């Protein structure tokens, strides 16, 4: 069986790590660099940085965060949000990223995927797909954090982006994002059956609900987590001097959380996988 990767996803607005539900209602959780360092030291296989307001400014503003983070962690870093040109990709890679995640630019100009893959190699190009299930039972792709419908059916879109050279797909269930209701393994399985590149599952991740079932039924290569990891990490790093910085954190400082989310850490996830005979990097 393939080795499963565990990937923290850090959504960033300005200098802050944020998280919401269904990609909306963002709450400030602290410093992305500190959280990334914490996850690296605790066994993360990769890190995803996503600029969640990049579409408002048509640019990615994470260069300084990437540069500072890349000096101290030595696992692959994927960066997404506002990347619309070959020059944008060059800038992000020079700052220290290993891969870029494309969504809006890929939808607006699919040939950009092919150009990027030819220039930098397919292994550098991840296409992110924000999927919402329609009343007709089909999944459709959205952009701008699940706010703008594209009219693209997810399975055909996934097949097209890999044909154009994407080396990996990050599939987010917007319906499950931030809810802790478990991954949508039906969506993941359907996408995986359409493509021959690695698929990263994101949206709804929760240790106790359907993690093992998702891996067995969907055959994905990686699992991306946000809320599930962030709330547990916050409780630890807030005890470190200067460990939590920036912004209004009243939601966390009042010991609030999303009731459906059983927070946990990377070690717990990997022990769960190993105890169920699923290979992962220990």
Which residues are part of the catalytic machinery?
11, 130
> Distances from the Cα of 37 to the Cαs of 48, 155, 249, 282, in angstroms?
13, 35, 20, 17
- Tell me how far apart the alpha carbons of residues 89 and 126 are, in angstroms, rounded to a whole number: 12
Beta strand spans in 36-98 (E): 47-51, 77-80
Do residues 97 and 71 make contact, with C-beta atoms less than 8 angstroms apart? Answer: no
Do residues 43 and 281 make contact, with C-beta atoms less than 8 angstroms apart? Answer: yes
- Tell me how far apart the alpha carbons of residues 147 and 6 are, in angstroms, rounded to a whole number: 27
The contacts of residue 157 (CB under 8 Å, 6+ apart) are: 129, 141
Which has the closest alpha carbon to 214: 237, 243, 181, 238?
181
Hey, how many other C-beta atoms are within 10 angstroms of the C-beta on 149?
13
- Tell me how far apart the alpha carbons of residues 60 and 79 are, in angstroms, rounded to a whole number: 9
DSSP bridge pairs for 30: 17
- N-term to C-term CA, the chain: 15
- Tell me how far apart the alpha carbons of residues 148 and 114 are, in angstroms, rounded to a whole number: 24
């Amino acid at each position: 069986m393939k080795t499963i990767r565990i990937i923290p996803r850090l959504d960033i607005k300005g200098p802050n790590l944020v998280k919401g539900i269904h990609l909306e209602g963002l709450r400030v959780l602290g410093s992305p660099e500190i959280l990334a360092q914490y996850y690296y030291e605790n066994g993360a296989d990769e890190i995803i940085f996503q600029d969640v307001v990049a579409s408002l400014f048509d640019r990615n503003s994470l260069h300084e965060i990437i540069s500072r983070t890349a000096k101290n962690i030595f696992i692959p870093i994927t960066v997404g949000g506002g990347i619309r040109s070959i020059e944008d990709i060059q800038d992000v890679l020079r700052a220290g990223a290993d891969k870029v995640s494309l969504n809006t630019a890929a939808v607006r100009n699919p040939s950009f995927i092919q150009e990027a893959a030819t220039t930098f190699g397919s292994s550098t190009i991840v296409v992110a797909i924000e999927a919402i299930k329609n009343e007709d039972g089909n999944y459709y792709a959205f952009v701008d954090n699940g706010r703008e419908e594209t009219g693209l059916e997810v399975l055909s879109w996934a097949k097209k982006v890999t044909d154009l050279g994407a080396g990996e797909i990050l599939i987010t269930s917007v319906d499950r994002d931030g809810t802790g209701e478990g991954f949508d393994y039906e969506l993941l399985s359907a996408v995986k059956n359409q493509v021959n590149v690695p698929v990263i599952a994101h949206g709804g991740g929760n240790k106790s609900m359907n993690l093992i079932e998702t891996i067995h039924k969907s055959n994905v290569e990686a699992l991306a987590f946000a809320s599930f990891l962030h709330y547990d990490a916050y409780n630890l790093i807030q005890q470190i001097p200067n460990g939590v910085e920036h912004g209004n954190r009243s939601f966390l400082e009042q010991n609030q959380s999303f009731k459906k989310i059983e927070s946990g850490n990377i070690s717990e996830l990997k022990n769960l996988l190993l105890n169920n005979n699923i290979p992962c990097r220990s």
